Chain A
Amino acid sequence: MSKEREKGMSLIVKTITRLTVGLILLYGVYIVLHGHVSPGGGFAGGVIIALSFVHLMLAFGKEVAFRKLAEPVVSFFESLGATLFLSIALLGFWGGSFLLNFLPKGESFKLFSAGIIPLCNVAICLKVGAGLFAAFVALVLLKLDVEKE
Chain B
Amino acid sequence: MTPGSAIMPLCVAVPLGGAFLTALLGRQIPRLPDLLGALATLGALLLSVWSVHVVNVYGTVVYALGGWQPPIGIAMVLDGLTAFMLVTVNLIAFLVAVFSIDYMERFTDKWLFYTLFLLMVAGINGVVVTGDLFNLFVFLEVASVASYALVAFGTEKQELEAAFKYAVMGTVASLFVLLGIVLLYSHTSTLNMADMARELAHKGGGNVTLLVSVLFLMGFGLKAAVVPFHAWLPDAHPSAPAPISAMLSGVLIKALGVYALCRVFYNVIGITPEISSILMFLGVLSMIVGVFLAIGQWDLKRLLAYSSISQIGYVILGIGLGTPLGIAGGLFHLFNHSVFKSLLFLDSGAVEYSTGTRDLKKMGGLAKKMPVTGATTLVGAISIAGIPPFSGFWSKLIIIVAAVEAGRHWYAFWAVLASVVTLAYVMKVMRYAFMGTLNDTWRHVKEVPFFMKVSMVSLALLCVAGGLLLLPGLQETFLTLASGVLSEGTQYAAIVLSEVQ
Contacts and interface: CB of A to CB of B under 8 A. Distances in A.
B20 A83 contact: yes
A93 interface: yes
A89 interface: yes
B427 interface: no
Given A98-B6, A98-B13, A79 B66 contact: no
A90 B27 CA distance: 25
Given A92-B66, A100-B67, A101-B66, A76 B24 contact: yes
Contacts of B20: 79, 82-83, 86
A105 B377 CA distance: 60
B24 A97 contact: no
Contact of A80 (B17, B24, B63, B66): B24
B63 A79 contact: no
Contacts of A96: 1, 67
B348 to A, nearest CB: 32
Contacts of A76: 24
A100 B66 contact: yes
B67 A89 contact: no
A98 B21 contact: no
Contacts of A101: 66-67
Q: How large is the interface on A (under 10, 10 to 19, 20 to 34, 35 or more residues)?
A: 10 to 19
B177 interface: no
B167 to A, nearest CB: 15
A7 B21 CA distance: 37
Interface string B58-90: 000001111100000000000000000000000
Contacts of B1: 96-97
Contacts of B67: 95-97, 100-101
Nearest to A102: B67
Given A86-B17, A92-B66, A98 B9 contact: yes
Contact of A82 (B6, B23, B65): B23
A111 to B, nearest CB: 22
29 contacts: A75-B23, A75-B27, A78-B23, A79-B20, A79-B24, A80-B24, A82-B20, A82-B23, A83-B17, A83-B24, A86-B13, A86-B17, A89-B13, A90-B13, A93-B6, A95-B67, A96-B67, A97-B9, A97-B65, A97-B67, A98-B6, A98-B9, A98-B13, A98-B63, A98-B66, A99-B9, A99-B65, A100-B67, A101-B67
